């Protein structure tokens, strides 16, 4: 380290080597990623300011990517164990392709922050996957879409002119046909 940078620029205290392991750092959209590996940087013991060089930033970036991939893979395996779903069923319920889910499990890709939060939520409430019939209807692939027939007799229809509720669409249509005559 440069002799000019032996003291903290904020509080003028001597800098010390500190390990970032088990600390929380932001990475892109992820506000808090836990550093899982050892990374020593210069830091101020008084104010907590860290001085990170270019090589250390590259190493920190790789460590944070590793941590996100590990956590994602762990979340998916927990969801699979709790729900009892196969990988194909789980991918349909989550709304992603089976190939993408496989890449997440094998730690080859990093999910978006939104997908990561969705996985964290599903890990807490796995019953959503197994009990909710409407879960996972939409996927990115048209061949995986399901056709759902809605029972129209369960809904009420409102004639906005008269503010009258009709229990079936046929009643509603009959009234409209009568008025047109």
Which among 141, 145, 179 has a CA at the least distance from the CA of 160? 179
pLDDT single digits (tens) 47-62: 888 888 889 999 999 9
Average pLDDT over residues 38-51: 90
With a CB cutoff of 8 Å and minimum separation 6, the contacts of 119 are 72, 75, 76, 79, 94, 111
Q: Would the pLDDT of 77 be above 80?
A: yes
pLDDT single digits (tens) 78-103: 999 988 888 998 888 888 899 999 99
Q: Which comes out higher in pLDDT, residue 154 or 133?
A: 154
Output the pLDDT for position 94.
83
Q: What whole-number percentage of the chain has pLDDT above 90?
A: 35
d(CA 58, CA 101): 27
Average pLDDT over residues 146-150: 46
Q: Would the pLDDT of 109 be above 60?
A: yes
With a CB cutoff of 8 Å and minimum separation 6, the contacts of 54 are none
Q: Which two tokens mark 51? A: 């001085």
Q: Which comes out higher in pLDDT, residue 3 or 23?
A: 23
Output the pLDDT for position 136.
46
Q: Which comes out higher in pLDDT, residue 71 or 157?
A: 71
pLDDT single digits (tens) 120-142: 888 888 766 665 444 444 445 44
pLDDT classification of 9: cutoffs 50, 70, 90: confident
For residue 82, what are the CA distances in angstroms to 18, 91, 148, 166?
Answer: 39, 15, 27, 43
Sign of CA dihedral 81, 83, 89, 95: negative
Protein fold of 3-144: Ubiquitin-like (UB roll) (3.10.20)
Q: Compute the C-alpha angle 53/59/62, nearest 5°.
A: 145
* Mean pLDDT, all residues of the chain: 77
Output the pLDDT for position 40.
93
Domain(s) labelled CATH 3.10.20.860 in the chain stretch across: 3-144
Model-wide pTM > 0.85: no
Chain-centre distance for alpha carbon 58? 25
With a CB cutoff of 8 Å and minimum separation 6, the contacts of 103 are 109
Output the pLDDT for position 51.
86
């Amino acid at each position: 380290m440069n002799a000019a940078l032996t003291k903290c620029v904020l509080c003028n205290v001597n800098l010390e080597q500190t390990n970032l392991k088990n600390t929380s750092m932001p990475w892109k959209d992820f506000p808090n990623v836990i550093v899982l590996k050892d990374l020593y940087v210069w830091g101020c013991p008084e104010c907590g300011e860290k001085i990170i060089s270019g090589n250390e930033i590259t190493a920190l970036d790789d460590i944070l990517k590793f941590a996100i991939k590990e956590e994602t893979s762990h979340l998916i395996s927990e969801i699979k164990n709790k729900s009892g779903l196969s990988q194909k069923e789980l991918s349909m319920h989550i709304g992603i392709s089976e190939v993408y889910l496989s890449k997440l499990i094998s730690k080859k890709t990093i999910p978006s922050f939104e997908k990561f939060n969705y996985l964290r939520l599903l890990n807490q409430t796995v019953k959503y996957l197994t009990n909710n019939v409407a879960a996972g209807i939409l996927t990115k692939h048209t061949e995986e879409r399901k056709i759902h027939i809605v029972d129209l007799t369960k809904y009420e229809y409102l004639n906005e002119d008269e503010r009258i509720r009709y229990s079936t669409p046929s009643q509603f249509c009959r009234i409209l046909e009568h008025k047109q005559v």
